[in-house]
């Protein structure tokens, strides 16, 4: 059910309402907050590492991945080049103390002594430790150090040459991010405030397909939520470098947002209104490989929901500034249906000059200037219908949609450059000024028994018709997934997910398209729970069954991994 929820939230830009009863599942634990995409089962999710992946829900409409699209829901996510990323997350976690470790499975250990040839490459770990104190008169302190060394081996040799040290807080695996922060906050009533400061190493994936090492020293983030007003301000002093070429630069950046959220009283009204603005201001010195036109961007936005009756809802989000605009809107009709069932008919639209109006506008690569903006605009229209029906402990549902997109963002490649194992590209962001059409269908079935057991089977297909060779990614046509969550004797959790995804293809990041073969995957979480003591002992197996392949150009192998966590809540 979570994936269905996500689909609704993501598709409409503003939270949609679900029709039917929701069977709450726990799900397989992500290896780290923000890596949930690796266990997603309802579309095309290709992971090159924690800081770069392609994530598109089947039925979302259009060709873009979800993380490429800016929305007000992502104001507190990180902007990594032109993607909004939940990771590395600076969200203060609930009061607790926790330790996490794990590894890509397949080190030699004692096999080292008897394996002189064809030795497997090194497997790399994951590390995290942190705490947040209970509140004392509303005040609390927190600290967290975390890095994900998975997905680092395949590109390590190339990346290593670009930096002058290990580029991580711990170890020598050149992880794609390594973060440490500490701070304090105040939470009481309608006030929630925090100040965090720390140091961070991040490898950012760019439009040219380069990995850019960025060292934030320091990074400071302040959040103040009072009543329905949310404020975020971040300061980053970012060092850029290419040690091999003796290049270096520095970017000092202020970014943040102000948002008024529709409150409880407002949400009961027929017309609901939220508004705010997001901003960035950069000051570049030396070579930083990207540029933000005018060194600043301010993006005011407004969200509307008009619901004159329970059967009808219209939603809209508009963000606009002097350079770009982005609109997401939908109209939904829910006709009367028998008890415990529901029907939804809807139309949604996304239009705009840019998927992410906050992102930098140019990338500099090997003497070339890559324009990250394209003339014109994109228009996506989608009509959809869904139904659910509940019979006792069984729920059945389905959804079908048709979509058409004109002006989809793509990349116009001038030239590919091969550098040992990696491939880069010259060119500019462009548009497919032609209609791309898609038709989708999904069916699901859920069964549950009290709190003990919940099972869901979900399957979907999508047929896309358009100039495929200009798609950045040709999404998978089929998926099937089976998820089950057990809570044995109210204190031992087993969550697992078995799923299949058909072939997907990267068309524009290398001369020959990279086909990511379809495969079966299985993930599972086992957890001893001691709710009375707030103690949770968790072990998670990820990417079992699936072949260990590279899922994104210039990415790394998605390997079988095990992660264990000990958490004590306060």
Partner 1 sequence: MAKMKALILLVLSFAACALAQSESGEIVAADSVAFSKFYVSIEGGEKYPFGDLVDAVDNTLYVGIGARYAYWEDFDGIILFQYSYFEPHDKIPHVYGVHEASGKLGLDYRWRLISPIALGAGFICNWTRADFNDDGRPEFDTRGGTLTDNETEFGWFARLNLPIFTMDNYRAGLNVLWEQLWTLPERSNMLSVGLYIERRLW
Nearest distance from C-beta of residue 110 to partner 1, angstroms:
4
Question: What part of residues 91-120 is at the interface with partner 1 (CB under 8 A)?
Answer: 101-103, 105-116, 118-120
Listed residue (176, 172, 173) closest to 202, CA to CA: 176
Q: Which of 539, 549, 568, 569 binds partner 1 (CB under 8 A)?
A: 539
Residue with tokens 């104190």: 133
The interface with partner 1 within residues 540-559 (CB under 8 A) comprises 544-545
Strands (E) in 502-534, as ranges, are 504-506, 514-516, 519-530
Structure tokens at 351: 């239009």
Shortest separation between residue 380's beta carbon and partner 1, angstroms: 37
Q: What is the per-residue binding string for partner 1 in 211-250, x denoting contact by CB under 8 A?
A: ----------------------------------------
Please identify, using beta-carbon distances, which residue of 336 and 532 lies nearer to partner 1: 532
Among 465, 469, 531, 570, binds partner 1 (CB under 8 A): 531
Count other Cβ atoms within 10 Å, centred on residue 448.
20
**Cα Rg of the chain (Å, integer):** 23
Q: Whose Cβ is closer to partner 1: residue 428's or residue 523's?
A: 523
Closest CA to 95 of 143, 53, 49: 143
Residue closest to 390 by CA, chosen among 342, 335, 333: 342
CA 210 vs. chain centroid, Å, equals 20
| Rounded least distance, CB 528 to partner 1, Å | 6
Nearer to partner 1, 239 or 503 (CB): 503
| Shortest reach from residue 530's CB to partner 1, in Å | 5
Minimum Å gap between C-beta 519 and partner 1 is: 9
Considering only 197, 233, 404, 564, the residue that binds partner 1 (CB under 8 A) is 564
Q: How far is the CB of 159 from partner 1 (least distance, A)?
A: 18
Q: How many CA atoms lie within 13 A of 401 on its CB side?
A: 32
Smallest separation (angstroms) from partner 1 to the CB of 488: 5
* Separation of alpha carbons 354 and 172, rounded Å: 38
Region of 9-17, 267-275, 321-329, 483-491 interacting with partner 1 (CB under 8 A)? 483-491
User: x-or-dash pattern for partner 1, window 431-460, by CB under 8 A?
Assistant: ---------------------xx-------
Residue of 540, 551, 535, 536 whose CA lies nearest to 501: 551
CB of 447 to partner 1, least distance (A): 12
Cβ distance to partner 1 smaller for residue 329 or 485: 485
Helix (H) or strand (E) holding 9: helix 2-12
**What's the closest the beta carbon of residue 412 comes to partner 1, in angstroms?**
40
| Residue carrying structure tokens 């705490």 | 131
537 contributes a contact to partner 1 by CB under 8 A: yes
Contact between residue 537 and residue 443 where contact means Cβ atoms under 8 Å apart: no
CB-based contacts of 489: which residues, under 8 Å, 6+ apart?
A: none
Phi then psi dihedrals of residue 265, to 5 deg: -65, -40
CB 38 within 8 A of CB 325: no
378 touches 406 (CB < 8 A): yes
- Cβ atoms of 477 and 463 within 8 Å: the answer is yes
Q: Which of 494, 489, 549 is nearest to 523 (CA)?
A: 494
Binding mask 486-525 for partner 1 (x = CB under 8 A): x-xxxxx-x-x-x---------------------x-x---
**Among residues 227 and 530, whose Cβ is nearest to partner 1?**
530
* Of residues 91 and 111, the one with the C-beta less far from partner 1: 111
By the criterion CB under 8 A, which residues form the site for partner 1?
A: 101-103, 105-116, 118-120, 122-123, 125, 452-453, 484, 486, 488-492, 494, 496, 498, 520, 522, 526, 528-533, 537, 539, 544-545, 560, 562, 564
């Amino acid at each position: 059910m979570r994936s269905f929820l996500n689909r609704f939230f993501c598709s409409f830009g503003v939270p949609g309402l679900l029709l039917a009863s929701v069977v709450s599942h726990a799900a397989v634990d992500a290896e780290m907050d923000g890596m949930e995409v690796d266990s997603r089962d309802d579309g095309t999710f290709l992971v090159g590492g924690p800081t770069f992946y392609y994530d598109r829900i089947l039925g979302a409409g259009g060709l873009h991945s979800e993380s490429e699209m800016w929305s007000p829901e992502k104001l507190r996510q990180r902007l990594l080049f032109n993607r909004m990323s939940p990771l590395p997350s600076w969200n203060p976690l609930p009061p607790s103390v926790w330790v996490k470790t794990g590894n890509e499975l397949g080190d030699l250990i004692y096999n080292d002594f008897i394996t002189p040839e064809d030795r497997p490459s090194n497997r790399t770990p994951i590390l995290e430790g942190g705490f947040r104190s209970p509140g004392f008169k509303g005040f609390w302190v927190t600290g967290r150090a975390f890095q994900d060394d998975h997905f680092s081996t395949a590109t390590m040799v190339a990346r290593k040459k670009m930096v002058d040290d290990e580029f991580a807080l711990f170890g020598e695996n050149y992880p794609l991010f390594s973060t440490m922060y500490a701070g304090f906050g105040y939470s009481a009533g309608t006030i929630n405030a925090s100040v965090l400061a720390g140091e961070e190493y991040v490898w950012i994936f760019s439009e040219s397909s380069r990995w850019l090492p960025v060292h934030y020293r320091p990074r400071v983030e302040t959040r103040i939520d009072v009543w329905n007003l949310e404020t975020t301000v971040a300061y980053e002093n970012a060092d850029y470098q290419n040690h091999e070429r003796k290049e270096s630069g520095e970017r000092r950046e202020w970014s943040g947002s102000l948002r008024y959220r529709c409150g409880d009283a407002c949400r009961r009204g027929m017309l609901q209104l939220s508004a705010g603005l997001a901003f960035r201001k950069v000051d570049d010195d030396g070579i930083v490989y990207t540029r933000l036109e005018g060194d600043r961007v301010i993006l005011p936005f407004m969200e509307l929901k008009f619901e004159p009756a329970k059967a009808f809802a219209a939603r809209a989000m508009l963000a606009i500034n002097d350079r770009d605009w982005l609109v997401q809107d939908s109209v939904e009709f829910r006709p009367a249906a028998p008890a415990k069932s529901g029907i939804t008919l809807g139309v949604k639209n996304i239009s705009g000059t840019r998927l992410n109006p906050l992102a930098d506008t140019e990338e500099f690569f090997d003497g070339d200037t890559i324009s990250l903006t394209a003339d014109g605009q994109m228009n996506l229209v989608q009509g959809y219908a869904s139904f659910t029906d509940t019979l006792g402990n069984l729920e059945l549902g389905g959804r079908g949609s048709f979509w058409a997109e004109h002006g989809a963002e793509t990349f116009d490649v001038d030239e590919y450059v091969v550098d040992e194992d990696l491939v880069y590209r010259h060119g500019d962001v462009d548009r497919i000024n032609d209609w791309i059409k898609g038709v989708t269908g999904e069916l699901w079935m859920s069964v549950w028994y009290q709190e003990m057991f919940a099972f869901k089977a979900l399957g979907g297909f999508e047929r896309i018709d358009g100039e495929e060779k200009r798609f950045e990614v040709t999404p998978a046509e089929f998926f099937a997934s089976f998820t089950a969550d057990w809570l044995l004797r109210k204190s031992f959790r087993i969550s697992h997910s078995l799923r299949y995804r058909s072939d997907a293809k990267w068309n524009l990041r290398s001369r020959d398209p990279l086909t990511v073969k379809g495969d079966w995957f299985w993930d599972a979480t086992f957890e001893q729970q001691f709710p009375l003591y707030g103690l949770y002992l968790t072990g998670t197996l990820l990417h079992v069954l699936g072949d260990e392949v590279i899922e994104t150009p210039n990415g790394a192998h998605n390997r079988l991994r095990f992660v264990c966590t000990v958490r004590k809540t306060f």
